[in-house]
Amino acid sequence: MNNKNRREKQTLLAMINIYCRDKHEAGQKICFQCNELLQYACKRIDECQLGDKKTTCARCAIHCFKPEYREKVRAVMRYSGPRMLYNHPVLTFYHLIDSRFKTPKT
């Protein structure tokens, strides 16, 4: 696994933790629904055909998430994104850098 994918999974985990803690009041552990979303998203990131050349999923030309999961991830990011700067500033910084790249032509 490359560093970009590892970092993207860390960022996703941090965002889901924030979302689940505040919306589902799950405490330290994430709830079953959020864990299912995390597992699905991590599997899709691992299977990404672009590898280390990928941008963030939101800017990717190839959408490999099923529509219902894509909407769930959007909801998590919409809520957690502004809170990430305070909770995880380094991950936020790298996510912003990664989002500047465009998906290469395949």
The model's pTM is: 0.81
Domain that holds residue 80: 3-97
pLDDT tens digits along 40-93: 999 998 888 777 666 666 666 677 889 999 999 999 999 998 998 898 888 878
Q: Is residue 105 part of a domain?
A: no
89-98 vs 3-23: helix crossing angle, rounded to 10: 120
pLDDT score at 72 = 94
Structurally, the chain folds into a number of domains equal to 1
- Tokens standing for 23? 């919306």
Length of the chain: 106
Q: Is residue 20 part of a domain?
A: yes
Q: Is residue 92 part of a domain?
A: yes
pLDDT tens digits along 1-30: 678 888 889 989 999 999 999 998 767 789
Chain mean position to CA 19: 12
